[in-house]
Structure 1
């Protein structure tokens, strides 16, 4: 059963960082190529007056895949002298890629909190950019650690209210139908919640009680459990939270999760937007207060999930990264 659940959740593999797919810079490597045992890149000289930027890649990618390395180089050229760091769970890129599928998210988060504390260039704060699942993981860093402090958090196609399903199956796709069935049966099992990363942000409105009682990550992150204890560092610690959703989203289900929205349990097409969520109205995590002071920005990027064109990411990078370091 554990193997079947793991296979089922691997169907979520299309929820991957654009920097690993051909939709971004179209590298010559195949879609899932990585560079094994790639040494850590040497950082060029940086300008300490510019606020650094931390990236967290998406599912199916690694911290030093060809696409990630290329994008980091582009960012350094966009803001000359900016220090850019890519979060990693493992130094070996193949193992880092695997850690996006398998592991305990809370343990991985603790590791990243300790990791960022050891990097001298980040100690006075940084901006952060998360791709797909990396978005909610960086938000978890903000709410649980935030030392060094995050100033602006940008999430491309994040799943802040979780995912409620895997992508729909094509007619006759038996394996896909088996995967969907296994997810429904086993996603809240103890095994899945301790070992399968995507299970730990699976939020099915039709199984909401099971989600609250069994899910080990997202209900805590969103303070959905009574008495709705606020996080150690609420979102009001941010200057800006920039949430990007894709216009043709077919991977993240529901797509409105990227904007802190969800579906009601009895209607898979109706959307409950961010400002109608209880976590917003009751301000469990500081989202409403941040929004009311103008700190929450919701944007749409044209295309499918993580189809990041320059016209999408460049204005965002120019506005919310590369600012002067506060002293």
Structure 2
């Protein structure tokens, strides 16, 4: 991540980069990507950014999310957005969830034990409060259980009967929302989740965002962004998180360059990592 931060700074000199962290050590930070309560983690990030002496005074910041970090940053925008995000860019994120859990290596017994628990009890209170992947699991064939028990995704996607209008209001404030999908992504199932699309697990048919109720009824403000030309659907060659430096450099130039605003420009960048 330090290499990515250095690239952001060299591409746009003067950029202040804040690497979001959930633990006091690198090991604790890695553990938090699999174990933890996402709602509590986002609240922690909200406090972390408000306390930053530079970000807290910025009129706006740009945000970059890798893998699951993308939907977590979107959750930050919807729930806090203080400091407000100007441009949000996500790579290989699971905005519409995952329909399958990532398989563990045969030699990783701890991971395989957790995997078995997730598969058998994904809608349990334990899984939905402690295992991060369970909190954005979404199988179209289990929608009733998902809407009733999902600790995170069903809420930030505004899929329940009672909608949170603040979520849509905050997303509509974005200047640009760019979603990158990896063309050969086999880790995220379905890979089209990176674009809020839904895939039929039986037929493989993909329903794009603009054909879904979430878009048509504008539960999240995505239709409004799209109609204003602020919603970008991009692809990247390769597998999950196989990113070339040239790709990131183009992203930093297009979305994270300094801009002229009425207030002094906030040339700041947040980064959240994921899987």
Distance 1:118 1:168, change over 3 A: closer
Q: Which moved more, 1:118-127 or 1:154-163?
A: 118-127
Match of 1:259 in 2: 195
* CA distance in 2 between partners of 1:291 and 1:264 (Å): 24
Q: How does 1:1-327 map to 2 (within 5 A)?
A: 68-122=1-55, 123=57, 124-167=59-102, 182-232=117-167, 233-264=169-200, 266-267=202-203, 269-324=204-259, 326=261, 327=263
* CA distance in 2 between partners of 1:228 and 1:74 (Å): 39
Relative contact order, CA 8 A, sep 6+: which one is greater? Answer: 2
Contact 1:128 1:138 in 2 (8 A): yes
Number of aligned residue pairs: give it: 258
Distance 1:303 1:107, change over 3 A: same
Q: Which runs of 5+ in 1 are unaligned?
A: 1-67
* CA distance in 2 between partners of 1:97 and 1:180 (Å): 17
* CA distance in 1 between partners of 2:127 and 2:228 (Å): 39
RMSD: 2.3
Deviation (angstroms), 1:325? 5.7
* CA distance in 1 between partners of 2:202 and 2:44 (Å): 38
Deviation (angstroms), 1:183? 3.4
Match of 1:10 in 2: none
SS of equivalent to 2:166: coil
- Tell me the TM-score normalized by structure 1: 0.74
Greater share of strand residues, 1 or 2? 2
- Tell me the TM-score normalized by structure 2: 0.87
Deviation (angstroms), 1:167? 4.6
Q: Which runs of 5+ in 2 are unaligned?
A: 264-275
* CA distance in 2 between partners of 1:71 and 1:254 (Å): 26
